[in-house]
Chain A
Amino acid sequence: CAAPPQSDRAAPQSREARQQQLEEIGAWQVKGRVAIVNGAEAWHLNVIWRQDEDDYQIELWGPFGSGRVQLEGDAQGVRLSDAHKQIYYARDPESLLFDHTGVKMPVSGLRYWILGLTDPQQEQDQPRYDARARLTSVQQESWHVAFKRYTRLGELAVPDRLTVAKNDLQVKLVVDDWQLQ
């Protein structure tokens, strides 16, 4: 008979086992570059993202460290500080970034997608896996998330090329340095 479709070849429990291992990662740091296209506007930024359970710190900057923006938050709220010594507060990072940049950046979703996990707080639709039980794409509340490439982190595989798109917003992330804290 024909070989099963690619996504079923991996034994189911290795998908659960892999998901469990990823979920156990409490603290991690990613250094990389992000391209954001929001309709006619676009940015290339460097990014450092530190996550420790629900606490996170995300720093974005351009050439020569210009235009540095820092987001620091936890489950209760988030603070944004920009290069002009302005500080802004909000309940959630999405509304804060939107007010500041006009971009609806799915920060809460990225926290999981960056690891190769689906976001447990959002509906998920048509997850696809490769032969090694790694997520290759998923749709979460009209965010199309594609995991383009994986890299090794210890004995785990984590994404180092990721795109997220919805309507006319497209985010491409390239990870240069993965670390477990």
Chain B
Amino acid sequence: APTIEDYFGNLDSFEADFVQRLFNAEQELQEESSGVIKIQRPDRFYLQYREPYEQLYIADGKRLWSYDADLEQVIVKQQQNLLRDTPAMILSNPQQLQRQYETDQYRSDDNNLIWFRLTPKSSENQFDEVQLGFDETQIRIMELKDGFGRITRLEFDDIRRNPGFSAETFRFTPPEGVDVIEQ
């Protein structure tokens, strides 16, 4: 199975369907959502939640666009430190990953995933612990735990490594009639 370096070493772009589950500190499931994630190293990603509602986040390398059709609104923010400790950064930016996290091979479990544990080197990171579960070829599960024991769990499916995206993929043009708030 790949080590983290092997896995992320030659990862240039990544696409997958995901299911996201949020658990509160008592480990009760609070929300489940699903969608598609596309990542292009080092700093562009496309994150679309499809269920139970539509939400779109696009990082085009300079700015992060967030669009919610029901809220009829687009928010545009400068990208730099917004992505520091989000899954998008972890998946797309191994140098930053190594700089910010200690990684150790942690355990393998009964459905033979190999797990790595990432613990932040500094306390500003939002997540206290990140766990990555790999099968022989792909990352399957990412779990992020915050200081209160609340967990965000992402399960990836239909994964495509290095699919190669057109530049269009990470460009966002706000729909007609939607208010755009630039920060």
Q: Which range contains the number of B residues in contact with the other chain?
A: 35 or more
Name the interface residues of A78-106: CB closer than 8 Å to any CB of B. Answer: 81, 83-85
Contact flag A43-B75 (CB < 8 Å), given A35-B68, A65-B150, A67-B126: yes
B93, chain A: closest CB distance, angstroms: 15
Q: Is B40 an interface residue (CB 8 A)?
A: no
Give bound CA distance, A84 to B85, whole Å.
12
Q: Is A154 an interface residue (CB 8 A)?
A: no
Q: Which of A8-16, A56-64, A108-116, A130-138 contacts B (4 or more CB under 8 A)?
A: A56-64
Count of residues in A whose CB is under 8 Å from the partner chain: 30
Give bound CA distance, A67 to B86, whole Å.
10
Q: Is the CB of B31 within 8 A of A35?
A: no
Q: Is the CB of A42 within 8 A of B57?
A: no
Chain B residues whose CB sits within 8 angstroms of the CB of A65 once the complex forms: 20, 22, 144, 146, 150, 152
Give bound CA distance, A27 to B125, whole Å.
36
Q: Is A30 an interface residue (CB 8 A)?
A: no
Give bound CA distance, A48 to B181, whole Å.
24
Give bound CA distance, A81 to B25, whole Å.
12
Give bound CA distance, A84 to B183, whole Å.
24
Q: Is the CB of B20 within 8 A of A64?
A: yes
Q: Is the CB of A172 within 8 A of B71?
A: yes
A96, chain B: closest CB distance, angstroms: 17
Q: Is B87 an interface residue (CB 8 A)?
A: yes
Q: Is the CB of A44 within 8 A of B126?
A: no
Give bound CA distance, A41 to B154, whole Å.
29
Contact flag A44-B66 (CB < 8 Å), given A172-B71, A176-B52: yes
Chain B residues whose CB sits within 8 angstroms of the CB of A35 once the complex forms: 68, 71, 73, 75
From the candidates A40, A44, A64, name the one contacting B68 in the complex (CB within 8 A): A44
Q: Is B114 an interface residue (CB 8 A)?
A: no
A39, chain B: closest CB distance, angstroms: 10
Chain B residues whose CB sits within 8 angstroms of the CB of A67 once the complex forms: 126
Q: Is the CB of B75 within 8 A of A42?
A: yes
Q: Is the CB of A63 within 8 A of B47?
A: yes
Q: Is B53 an interface residue (CB 8 A)?
A: yes
Q: Is the CB of A63 within 8 A of B86?
A: yes
Chain A residues whose CB sits within 8 angstroms of the CB of B31 once the complex forms: 31, 46, 48
Q: Is the CB of B73 within 8 A of A44?
A: yes
Other than the given A48-B30, A61-B22, A172-B73, 9 more pairs (CB < 8 A) read: A33-B55, A34-B71, A35-B73, A64-B144, A64-B154, A66-B126, A83-B146, A172-B72, A174-B71
10 pairs, A vs B, C-beta closer than 8 Å: A33-B71, A35-B71, A40-B183, A42-B183, A48-B30, A61-B22, A63-B57, A84-B123, A161-B70, A177-B52
4 tightest A-B CB contacts, nearest first: A85-B147, A65-B152, A42-B181, A35-B71
